[in-house]
Amino acid sequence: MCLPLGMSKNTLSTDDARDQHGDPAGILEQANEVFEDMVTLRRDLHRWPEISNHLPRTRERVLEALEGLPLDITLHDNTSGIAALLTGGKPGPTVLLRADMDALPMPEDTGLDFKSNVENAMHACGHDTHTSMLMGAARILSSRQADIPGRVLFMFQPGEEGYNGASEMLAEGLLDVGTDSPVTGAFAIHAASNIPGGFLGLKPDTIMASSDTMTITVKGKGGHASAPHFTMDPVPVACEIVQALQTLVTRRIDVFDPGVITVTQIHTGTTSNVIPETAMINGTMRAVSERTRTLIHDGIRRVAEGIGAAHGMDVDVQLNLGYDVTVNDAEFASFAADVATAVSGDRNVRMMENPVMGAEDFSYVLNRVKGSMMFLGLMPEGMDIMKAAPNHSNRAIYEENHMRRGAAVYSSVALRHLGVRLD
């Protein structure tokens, strides 16, 4: 079987996992019972996507879906974040489950009956499914409140798509839940539209890269295009910098500790017969370790400024820090894989060989609390994996049936982290 994301078979068998963690049949049955409500919420969020840290309609709709549950709800002030705390019937620590709620600024071309009604806004990264699965988990776990030795903190987060919503919620005291029941574990599930439906993928250590941006401005002297010798043309210098950045990656960065530099924009000039005064380069940098991240930053500055100096031009380099590397605790990743195996079977759980070069602000939660992120395949049934539109595509489609498995895994890892056997 060809597995996406370089996945290898999990070593723990289903029987072993269920011997260790218990039989999840009861939780799977409950996931089926709340499935229609998950679909209803998901489709409503999909029709009315919102962008950034301020999602007033989304927050209102999530609160409606949580209404009636025994949750202590805190509404964050600086964002539309929701922290919903379930206190069990017995004392114990707190486990955090997270879902992001925001959409992307892009048009939708899926043709779905419930496609976006908002111009240039789309749930193209599956956050509508994340939110719905976490709502389902909140209902499942609330029904088991009396048997829970501890608490479950449901983190409904805005602004994952570049707005650092997780850090905003942390700054507002998300983890300040008291010393008697501290947060001792954190888990998140991320949907993927090009991983076969129902597959769960995760790995120890780095699972997602850092994400930073660069703006490089080459400052020359403009003039008439017929007489470049009277000018200092920044255009060829900018082109030279772009090429040299690719060499930087292949000759200075360890292939076993990789990084990516991608130039996405070059802005310069106004017309064909004018040599411009400046040329601007924009792009992104990714790394799977802080060591490589630092090497890339230092290298970009050295290369750009050095090439500019060689041509007698000043170069301004602006490097903007984005999200940190997302690092799963090795023991927590193994634990999550074992629990997921008990829920889904060993055929459906895979350990990823390589990290994903995308980035996530769940990294900031994992910087504070040990835990694990995992990927859930929601590729539509019968679709060719080579043709499936990936996350962030205007044609990305997510299979809803497997949201049941996501809600069951959310619920199961929370219960097992708190010491409750599955039943």
Per the domain annotation, does 393 fall within a domain? yes
Q: So what's the pLDDT on residue 1?
A: 36
pLDDT band for position 331 (50/70/90)?
very high
- What CA–CA distance (Å, rounded) separates 210 from 212? 7
- Residue 114 covered by a domain: yes
Note whether 337 and 351 are within 8 A (CB): yes
Average pLDDT over residues 155-179: 96
> Would residue 422 count as lying in a domain?
no
Question: Residue 11: what pLDDT?
Answer: 63
Instruction: Give the pLDDT of residue 2.
Output: 43
Residue 299 and residue 167 in one domain: no
Per-residue pLDDT, 181: 96
What average pLDDT score do residues 117-131 get?
A: 98
- Residue 314 lies in domain: 210-323
Give the total number of structural domains in the chain: 2
- Confidence at 58, pLDDT banded by 50, 70, 90: very high
Output the pLDDT for position 8.
67
Where among 323, 338, 371 does a domain terminate? 323
Predicted pLDDT at 4:
56
Residue 47: the pLDDT is 98
One domain for residues 177 and 255? no
Q: What is the pLDDT of residues 235-259, one digit of tens each?
A: 999 999 999 999 999 999 999 999 9
- The model's pTM: 0.93
Q: Are residues 139 and 276 in the same domain?
A: no
Helix (H) or strand (E) segment spanning residue 31: helix 25-33
Task: Please tell me whether residues 387 and 313 are part of one structural domain.
Answer: no
Within this chain, do residues 128 and 232 fall inside the same structural domain, yes or no? no
161 included as an active-site residue: no
Q: Give tens-digit pLDDT for 298-309.
A: 999 999 999 999
List of E strands, 180-334 = 183-196, 200-202, 205-208, 210-219, 223-224, 259-268, 274-275, 278-287, 314-323, 326-328
User: How confident is the model over 80-105, as a mean pLDDT?
Assistant: 98
pLDDT above 80 (res 226): yes
**Would you call 168 a catalytic residue per the annotation?**
no
Query: Is the same domain home to 306 and 348?
Result: no
The rounded distance, in Å, linking the Cα atoms of 350 and 10 is: 5
Considering the domain architecture, whether residues 293 and 392 belong to the same structural domain is answered as no
pLDDT band per the 50, 70, 90 thresholds, residue 12: confident
Q: List residues bridging with 104 in a β-sheet.
A: 122
Catalytic residue, candidates 108, 399, 400, 410: 400
Residues in the chain: 423
Choosing from 289, 323, 357, the residue where a domain stops is 323
Average pLDDT over residues 211-226: 97
Q: What is the pLDDT of residue 7?
A: 65
Share of the chain above pLDDT 70, in %: 97
Q: DSSP character for 147?
A: G
| Claim to verify: residue 32 and residue 139 sit in the same structural domain | yes
Q: Has residue 10 got a pLDDT over 80? A: no
pLDDT band at 9 (very low <50, low <70, confident <90, very high): low
Residues forming a β-bridge with 422: 22
Q: How many other CB atoms are there within 10 angstroms of residue 327's CB atom?
A: 23
pLDDT at 423: 85
In a domain, 423, yes or no: no
Is residue 220 predicted with pLDDT exceeding 90?
A: yes
Is pLDDT above 80 for 329?
yes
CA distance 412 to 337: 11
Last residue of a domain, one of 323, 355, 373: 323
Q: Is the pLDDT of residue 6 over 90?
A: no
Q: Containing H/E element for 420? A: none
297 with 332, same domain: the answer is no
**In this model, does residue 153 exceed pLDDT 50?**
yes
Shared domain check, 67 and 179: yes
The one catalytic residue in 160, 323, 364, 410 is 323
Largest CA distance in the chain: 82
Average pLDDT, the chain: 96
Do 342 and 262 sit in the same domain of this protein? no
- For 384-396, write each residue's pLDDT tens digit: 999 999 999 999 9
